[in-house]
A and B are shown apart, each in its own frame.
Chain A
Amino acid sequence: MEVKGFIHKYGDNVDTDVIIPARHLNTSNHKELAAHCMEDIDADFIKNVKQGDIMVAGFNFGCGSSREHAPIAIKEAGIDCVIAKTFARIFYRNSINIGLPILECSEASEKIKAGDEVSINFDSGIINNITKNERYQALPFPDFIKGIMDKGGLLSSIK
């Protein structure tokens, strides 16, 4: 599987309260959630994001609450993959469970800049920075997780 898109870039410890603030958790509607994605740290995100874009961040992305509303909002907003140095563990498993691809890669996190165009091959873990003509290697998914992702999420994989 491969995706290609433009980059939205953030720093370390992006927490679930800024990805989707709790005041908007009185709904489970994906579109309503996406409409408020990132608004507390980047009010323009939702205006600028296009289907197929990619998000890049630093350490501990998605820390804080277990709200699946966070990866749901990111996915529904149009993001096809999140790359970070590390992910908070609940965010990591939630993303896999709902079929939002995420990759850990320090080099990519440091070198990719906002607006770069990047393509990602999930089977090889290779991240290709088209704008800068650079390549970075992320660890591809283990088979167990790939199995869940290939089916589009946890529930389809156990049904």
Chain B
Amino acid sequence: MGMTMTQKILAAHAGLEQVVAGQLIRAKLDMVLGNDITSPVAINEFEKAGFSEIFDKSKISMVMDHFTPNKDIKAAEQCVQCRTFARHFNLDNFYDVGAMGIEHALLPEKGIVAAGDCIIGADSHTCTYGALGAFSTGVGSTDMAAGMATGEAWFKVPEAIKFNITGKLSKNVSGKDVILHIIGITGVDGALYQSMEFMGQGLINLSIDDRLCMANMAIEAGAKNGIFMVDEITKTYLDERVHRPYKIYAPDEDAVYIRTIDIDLSKIKPTVSFPHLPDNTRTIDEVGDIPIQQVVIGSCTNGRLSDMAIAAEILKGKTVHRDVRAIIIPATQQIYKECIQLGYLEIFIDAGCVVSTPTCGPCLGGHMGILAAGERCVATTNRNFVGRMGHVKSEVYLASPAVAAASAISGKLSGPEEVN
């Protein structure tokens, strides 16, 4: 029986010729990831279980991105714990303030993750690296601890949904609108325990940044992972960054997909997720009149250079509405630097935005832009649960960088055409 991309990668890492959906396996890991929130729990478990060795110092990444630069004393203590562990085991990929970026923007940028890899991360958006043709999935801290010690993890081999992508995106529509549209179709648990596999002729019209954004939100459909077919665009991206061999897996012709969803990119409009679930989507022409008080452009979903470019194009020469605080957070130091070089920072600051160094910050309601009761934010982040960005009576509207930038100018939820 044929295998999907995910099944092939899992089989290869479990040392098996063949796996089938539902099978429980142990697989070898190419990368184990943690951040400043999840690593301390993992380190505690690792030590409590009495482990004294890690499996491979080049295959563990720790990124201090959530509450950094440290938001308070407790957050600082958690980073000390990670730093001490990383130094003790001499981890190759420990990223502290000054080098760190948001983990899921940083690892692909640095060439740490590649096609064909089997990756776990103690962060749910670890599914992002599927954009590069890897099997990559979020786990918890105990899995991270076991992964660091043994280099293995247990998995249930998932079934898969196929997304057949055709067509070309319209102007001001990006990967974010595509994935919000898809989650609107599947629902927040529509891909539970399953893989989302993206392929089709339309892939050529999706940039790596679009794909990273889409794979990032596979978890918001409940999926175990999202994965894209590797093409020339992927290879070009990988070859510029990855300094080791990688492997490309395509699905077998007779691979079993339990469902196929056709996505015509040309039909997708700017899409917004209303509070309080990512599947509560409306297209921009249906949103009505929603005044807002904050805009956040950043996160592991939309903090990449192309996102900054879209925001800069819309904000150039404009002024942020006086009732809105616009917070822009380039996701990595490299992106931050390029924003300076390309003049985006000046555009943002002249428009009245504040620009932060990389951090998860407001995305998870950590710091750098917490909402008060009754406030509304248009954010390019990935979750709009109750209380996600602050008070339980605040609201988050998930949108693309184009919609967020336009909304910052108009002071209400708006499409880019409305501010031109």
Contacts and interface: CB of A to CB of B under 8 A. Distances in A.
Interface in B34-83: 37-38, 40-41, 44-46, 48-51, 66-67, 71-72, 74-75, 78
Given A40-B386, A153-B142, A13 B188 contact: yes
B129 to A, nearest CB: 14
Nearest to A95: B140
Nearest to A91: B140
A3 interface: no
Nearest to A26: B74
B193 interface: yes
Contacts of A41: 386
A67 B140 contact: yes
Contact of A98 (B72, B121, B142, B364): B142
Nearest to A69: B41
B227 to A, nearest CB: 16
A125 to B, nearest CB: 18
Interface stretch (B111-119, B143-151, B204-212, B261-269): B143-151
B140 to A, nearest CB: 4
Interface in A10-59: 13, 15, 17-18, 21-23, 25-28, 40-41, 59
Contacts of B45: 155
Contact of A63 (B139, B150, B222, B388): B222
Interface core residue of A18, A97, A144 (most chain B CB under 10 Å): A97
B275 interface: no
Given A94-B142, A158-B150, A59 B386 contact: no
B38 A67 contact: yes
A128 interface: no
B366 interface: yes
Chain B: interface residue count, which band? Answer: 35 or more
A129 interface: no
A64 interface: yes
A86 interface: yes
A6 to B, nearest CB: 25
B385 A18 contact: yes
A26 B78 contact: yes
Contact of A68 (B38, B49, B74, B219): B38
A93 B385 CA distance: 22
A72 to B, nearest CB: 7
Contacts of B72: 26
Contact of A22 (B41, B51, B192, B364): B364
A27 B150 CA distance: 26
Nearest to A155: B49
Contact of B138 (A86, A90, A142): A90
A155 B41 contact: no
Given A22-B365, A66-B122, A88 B150 contact: no
Contact of A72 (B41, B192, B193): B41
Contacts of B38: 66-68
B189 A13 contact: yes
Contacts of B122: 66, 68
B123 interface: yes
B193 A17 contact: no
Interface in B122-169: 122-124, 126, 138-143, 145-146, 149-150, 154
Contacts of B387: 17-18, 21, 40
B24 A142 contact: yes
Contacts of B126: 66
A22 B368 CA distance: 14
B224 interface: yes
A154 B146 CA distance: 8
Contacts of B383: 15, 17, 64-65
A15 B124 contact: no
A90 B124 contact: yes
B50 A159 contact: yes
B372 to A, nearest CB: 14
A132 interface: no
Contacts of B149: 158
B196 interface: no
A158 B222 contact: no
A60 B141 contact: no
A131 interface: no
A124 interface: no
Contact of A60 (B37, B189, B364): B189
Interface string A103-129: 000000000000000000000000000
Contact of B385 (A17, A88, A94): A17
Given A28-B40, A64-B385, A89-B222, A155 B48 contact: yes
B146 A66 contact: no
Contacts of B366: 22-23
B404 interface: no
Nearest to B34: A66
13 contacts: A13-B188, A17-B386, A18-B387, A22-B365, A25-B37, A26-B74, A40-B387, A40-B392, A63-B189, A86-B192, A89-B193, A98-B140, A159-B50
Given A18-B387, A64-B124, A69-B41, 15 more contacts: A15-B386, A21-B387, A41-B386, A60-B188, A63-B222, A66-B38, A66-B126, A66-B138, A66-B139, A67-B37, A89-B193, A93-B143, A145-B24, A156-B49, A158-B146
